Amino acid sequence: MVSWREICVVNLLLVFGFVAFSTAAVGDGNGFQNFSFPAIYNFGDSNSDTGGISAAMWPVNAPNGETFFGKPSGRAGDGRLIIHFIAEKLQLPYLSPYLDSIGTNFRHGANFATGGSSIRPGGYSPFHLGIQISQFMQFKTRTTTLYSQLSPNRKVPPYKESLPRSEDFSTALYTFDIGQNDLSYGFQHSTEEQVRASIPKILAQFSHAVKQLYKEGARVFWVHNTGPIGCLPYTALYYTSKPGYLDRIGCVKPRNEIAQEFNRQLKNKVSRLRTQLLQAAFTYVDMYSVKYAVISDAKNQGFTDPMNFCCGSFYGYHINCGKKATVNGTVYGTPCNHPSRHISWDGIHYSEAANLWVANHILNGSFSDTLFSIDEACHHPQT
C-alpha cells in the first residue's frame, strides 16, 4: 500500500499542473519512483454518468453521443464528459458503468455514477450516494475474494483480466461529482429556505460516504463542488420571481446563491475530513467558478448565448432531447447543427466542447484549493 507521504507527492503534481503526471517519474528522497493511478472510482450523477442509468432504467436516445461516439452511449450529452477527460489525462481507459452488464471492463476502475442521483435518498433516482458506496464495497469484496481463491501458480482466468487488482484499490483516485440533484429536487418540492436549511444534513451524508471509502482503503479524493445551477437554461426558463432575480448574464441569482452556500459548507466539510482522515489527500475543485467563468465569457470563448441550447425544447412546448413533436405545424426537438458552439447541450447538461473547456481549466489545479492545503493534507491539518 502506498503511504500517505507518497500520496501527497501525487497531489503536488495535481496542484502544479503536471497533467501527464500518471506517467511522470517523481522522487521524494526515499526511493519513491513512478507512482501512477492504476484506477479511477467515480461517484456522481448525470454530469459524470457514463451509462449507468441507461443500463439500469431507460435508454439515452439519439442524438446524444453524436459528436464523439457517433451513437448513443449512455451519456447525457453530445460527447465526452469531464470524467472522460480526467481518464484521458491519466492515460486510463474510459470508465465502464458498474450497472452495465455488457462489454464492461473494470481493470482500471468503475463508474458508480447514475443520472439523477443525489447524496441523500429520495430524489430523482434510487441510486443515491449511499447505494453507490454500497455497490463499491460489494464490488471490492467480491473482486478481492476472486483473487484470493486463485493459487499463485494457476493461470489467471480470462474474466479476471477485466477486474482490478486487489492492491489497486488503495492507490486509485476516488472522484465525486454529486450534490446538484439534492438542490434541484429540493427546489421542485420545497422552498428555497428549506433547501438551504437541508444542506448540513446532505453534507453529513457525504462525509459519511467518504469515511466509508477511507475504511476500505481509499486515500486520494478528488471532489467537485456543484456548478451554478441558476445558469442552466432550464432553470432560467422556468424560474419566475420578483424583478431583478436574474444577474447580468441571465442566471437566476437566488438559485446560484444557494449553490454557493452549498459549496461553502462542502469546502468546510472537506477541510474537516482532512483533520479526521490523516492519511488521505483531498483536492477540492471549484467547478462553480470555472463553469461560471465560461458562461460569463461565452462569446469570447467561441460560444453562442449561454442560455441557448442545442437539443430539445422548453420554449412553449417541453420536448426532451432525443424526442420530437409537432405542435400547430412547428416541429420541436430537432437538434442544432453545431453543438460545439453551445455551452449547454440540452438545457441541463453541458456540451462536449464546454466539458473540454472546463476540464482544461481544472486539471492543472487552477480551480482547486490544494495550493493552500498541502500541509493540511500531509500532516495534522487544522480547521
C-alpha cell read off for 152:
499463485
**Rounded Cα distance, 79 and 72, in Å:** 9
Identify the DSSP state of 318: -
The pLDDT assigned to 158 comes to 62
β partners of residue 111 = 42, 97
For residue 41, what are the CA distances in angstroms to 14, 222, 288?
Answer: 17, 10, 22
The pLDDT assigned to 361 comes to 93
Tracing cell 420530437 back to the chain, one arrives at 324
The pLDDT assigned to 159 comes to 62
Cβ atoms within 10 Å of 71's Cβ, excluding its own: 9
Residue-by-residue pLDDT tens, the chain, 383 positions: 444 444 454 443 443 333 333 333 333 333 333 458 999 999 999 999 999 999 999 889 999 999 999 999 899 999 999 999 999 999 999 999 999 989 899 999 999 999 999 999 999 999 999 999 999 999 999 999 888 876 666 666 666 788 999 999 999 999 999 999 999 999 999 999 999 999 999 999 999 999 999 999 999 999 999 999 999 999 998 887 778 899 999 999 999 999 999 999 999 999 999 999 999 999 999 999 999 999 999 999 999 999 999 999 877 678 889 998 888 888 888 899 999 999 999 999 999 999 999 999 999 888 998 653 222 323 333 33
Distance of alpha carbon 251 from the chain centroid = 22
The pLDDT assigned to 21 comes to 36
Encode pLDDT of 247-256 as tens digits: 999 999 999 9
What is the torsional sign of CA 148, 150, 156, 159?
Answer: negative
- Identify the burial level of 155 via C-beta atoms within 10 angstroms of its C-beta, where 0-12 means exposed, 13-18 middle and 19 or more buried: exposed
Q: Identify whether the C-beta of residue 3 lies closer than 8 Å to the C-beta of residue 138.
A: no
**Rounded Cα distance, 73 and 55, in Å:** 10
**Rounded Cα distance, 298 and 342, in Å:** 9
β partners of residue 246 = 252
DSSP letters, 73-116, are -S-SSSS--HHHHHHHHTT-PPPPBTT--SS---TTEEE---TT
* Residue 214 identity: Y
**Rounded Cα distance, 174 and 337, in Å:** 36
Question: Phi/psi of residue 34, each to 5°?
Answer: 55, 40
CA atoms lying within 13 Å on the CB side of residue 353: 20
C-alpha cell read off for 165:
487488482
C-alpha cell read off for 253:
441569482
C-alpha cell read off for 240:
419566475
End-to-end CA distance of the chain: 28
Evaluate if pTM is beyond 0.85: yes
Point out the residues that are catalytic: 46, 346, 349
